[in-house]
Amino acid sequence: MLTKNTTIPVHCAQCRREFYTPLYRLLNGRGRFCGRTCYWAHKRTVRRPLADRFWEKVDKHPGRWWNGAECWYWTGIPNPKGYGRISVHGRAGHDAFAHRVAWELTYRLVPGGLWVLHHCDTPACVRPEHLFLGTAADNTADMMAKGRHVNGVAPLERRARGERHGSRTKPESTPRGEKHTAAKLTDAQVCELRRRWSAGGIQQKALAAEYSVSRGVVSEILSGKSWKHLL
């Protein structure tokens, strides 16, 4: 019986040799090559020139400007920091920074040890006029001068604080009160505790013992320092 694991004889698209491959690989559009060597050999031969593959992935009107010239954004794969990547040499694991490729396609090869840096401070930008050559030290100095993140931490003046902080702009995302994973009390218990305290005749120590929390917790609830959102 034919199942998706049944192996079927096919001819390799590169070397034309016959080999067997499970049906499910063919159904997934795979299983065209007898092995990795043939796969990459094929990829190299059908691959279009780097410049063609590169410039068609560039958006020249992203609406961001530097020095009177619009940025050109790389629309292909970015790395986690937003720098574009493009595969070069047609081999696995051989990819390069898109802005570096842009520089090399436009001017000349980047001399060893030098970096391609951004005037416009936009990692995705590949417009050659927005790029310049520098050393690793230049990169750090440039980063400091533009107040970009150092070690992943934004400088004080660029951090979202006060009214701009996420807890104010998106309060529903900050777990408060009983929704907080560390909460020992429920909203109802806190209201009850405050009611009983304002009715008088009970000590904080007694309330703390009753609700199995510390005196500090009780005093913060009563002063409104914690569980503010229920006041």
Instruction: Using CB under 5 A, list all residues that contact Zn ion.
Output: 12, 14-15, 34, 38, 66, 71, 120, 122, 125, 127, 130
Residue closer to Zn ion (CB basis): 20 or 165: 20
CB of 135 to Zn ion, least distance (A): 21
What pairs with residue 10 in β-bridges?
A: 19
Residue closer to Zn ion (CB basis): 14 or 226: 14
Tokens at residue 14, please?
């590169």
CB of 139 to Zn ion, least distance (A): 16
Distance CA 131, CA 143 (A): 14
Residue closer to Zn ion (CB basis): 147 or 171: 147
CB of 137 to Zn ion, least distance (A): 22
CB of 21 to Zn ion, least distance (A): 11
Q: What residues contact residue 228 under an 8 Å CB cut-off, 6+ apart?
A: none
Residue closer to Zn ion (CB basis): 57 or 196: 57
What pairs with residue 117 in β-bridges?
A: 132
Pairing relation of β-strands 65-66 and 85-87? unpaired
CB of 99 to Zn ion, least distance (A): 9
CB of 130 to Zn ion, least distance (A): 3
For the stretch 217-221, contacts whose Cβ atoms lie closer than 8 Å and that sit 24 or more positions apart, written own/partner, are 217/184, 218/193, 221/185, 221/190, 221/193, 221/194
Would you say 185 and 222 are in contact if contact means Cβ atoms under 8 Å apart? Answer: no
Would you say 108 and 81 are in contact if contact means Cβ atoms under 8 Å apart? Answer: no
Residue closer to Zn ion (CB basis): 120 or 190: 120
CB of 125 to Zn ion, least distance (A): 3
Q: How many CB atoms lie within 10 A of CB 59?
A: 14
Residue closer to Zn ion (CB basis): 16 or 195: 16
Distance CA 54, CA 72 (A): 12
Would you say 99 and 115 are in contact if contact means Cβ atoms under 8 Å apart? Answer: no
Residue closer to Zn ion (CB basis): 15 or 183: 15
